[in-house]
Amino acid sequence: MAPVSEPYRVNVDRKIFPPVANREAHLVLRDIAFAIEHRSFVVMTGPSGCGKSTLLNVIAGLDREFEGKIDLGTAAPTIGYIFQSPRLLPWRTVEENISLVLPPGDPRQERVPDMLARVGLTAYASAYPERLSLGMQRRVALARGFVLEPDILLMDEPFVSLDDPTARDLRQLLMDLWHRRPTTVLFVTHDRTEAVMLGTRILRLSGGSATLVQDEAVRLSPEDRSDPEKVRAEQRRIFHDA
């Protein structure tokens, strides 16, 4: 567990996609610099395809070809990543998918059944992921991200392509898990309402070669977030729309 210390710092001066067969080199990200306070819930929004996922991969360390510096403190923090698709291992059961992110014999292994119960999948512990609905697979991915108790949890549009009630349930579940064990979250979405409902702070990226155009604290209490009127008003304040 990382001690409470300096905030994480993200500096991406330039990120270029090299030229491929029929496409020229493309500047995806430029001049992005921000700090993330510990245990804050930061939401990044921006138009589809602007480079939000690329930025998340850079921060996660999956993509190291960029100019800049990602400073996540001295000790390597535990990172959880909930991807846009659930990315479960189809040949492992729900329970195995969750417990596999922990080393064998790790004391946290004992929390796997509890985590399954919290995401409401106890009855499906020994089912294979492809037999579950997308919403249920996303629950497994959430459980996998949280059971690790990561220092940073990266989330890339984890509730996209779900019907409204399912997405709402999962957002509620995410909030419950986060309140139970607050951790630093960086959440990517292009859904502005979702951004306001979840985040304590919103970062807006521009389209084209994406850069940071707005950095705004969300002024909503946890209770306000379940009030659609207040969410809409806050969304209007931040995005000047809706």
CB of 239 to another protein, least distance (A): 31
Segment interacting with another protein (CB under 8 A) among 115-123, 125-133, 162-170, 199-207? 125-133
User: Among residues 87 and 236, whose Cβ is nearest to another protein?
Assistant: 87
**Binder among 4, 48, 126, 130 for another protein (CB under 8 A):** 130
What is the maximum span of the chain, computed from C-alpha positions, in angstroms? 52
Angle (nearest 5°) at CA 20 between 14 and 23: 85
Is the CB of 187 or the CB of 218 nearer to another protein?
A: 187
- Residues 6+ away with beta carbon under 8 Å from 32: 10, 11, 12, 55, 68, 205, 210, 211, 212
DSSP state of 122: G
Closest CA to 102 of 111, 94, 93: 111
Nearer to another protein, 85 or 209 (CB): 85
The token duo for 232 is 């809409």
Contacts with another protein, 73-112, as mask; x by CB under 8 A: ------xxx-x-x-x-xxxx-------xx-----------
Give whichever of 14 and 92 is closer to another protein, judged by the CB atom: 92
Residue 99 to residues 75, 78, 143, 148, 159, Cα–Cα distance (Å): 24, 16, 10, 9, 22
One residue of 10, 32, 44, 60 binding another protein per CB under 8 A:
60
Interface region with another protein, contact rule CB under 8 A, candidates 6-14, 29-37, 128-136, 215-223: 128-136
Six-digit token string for 143: 């459980």
Per-position x/- string for 150-169, each x denoting binding to another protein as judged by CB under 8 A, each - no binding: --------------------
Alpha-carbon gap, residue 151 to 37, rounded angstroms: 12
Footprint of another protein on this chain (CB under 8 A)? 57, 60, 62, 79-81, 83, 85, 87, 89-92, 100-101, 128, 130-131, 144, 148
